[in-house]
């Protein structure tokens, strides 16, 4: 069997199965890697929801006043 060509259309078809990049990367890593390598990852993942982001986190602090 020959080497599978990861075309834009094939990667897009696989990406449509997922609703976030993490699952796409973990469950179809070859398609994800090919899309990233060929610079169409942003386009084929445009329908996906964004998961937690390190830039939009809240950090809480609890301060106690000592009497």
Gap between the Cα atoms of 58 and 23, Å rounded:
24
User: What's the alpha-carbon Rg for the chain, to the nearest Å?
Assistant: 19
Cβ pair 6, 29 in contact under 8 A: no
- Please tell me the predicted confidence (pLDDT) of residue 54: 65
Digit-coded pLDDT (tens) for 3-51: 678 999 999 999 999 999 999 999 999 999 999 999 999 999 999 988 7
- Please tell me the predicted confidence (pLDDT) of residue 5: 87
Which pair of structure tokens corresponds to residue 5? Answer: 């060509």
Q: Model pTM?
A: 0.69
Cβ pair 24, 18 in contact under 8 A: yes
Block residue for tokens 């937690």: 52
- Please tell me the predicted confidence (pLDDT) of residue 3: 65
Block residue for tokens 């060509």: 5
């Amino acid at each position: 069997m020959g080497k599978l060509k990861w075309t834009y259309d094939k990667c897009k078809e696989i990406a449509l199965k997922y609703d976030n990049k993490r699952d796409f990367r973990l469950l179809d890593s070859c398609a994800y890697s090919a899309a990233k390598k060929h610079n169409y990852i942003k386009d084929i993942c445009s329908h996906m929801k964004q998961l937690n982001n390190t830039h939009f986190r809240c950090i809480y602090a609890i301060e106690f006043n000592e009497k």
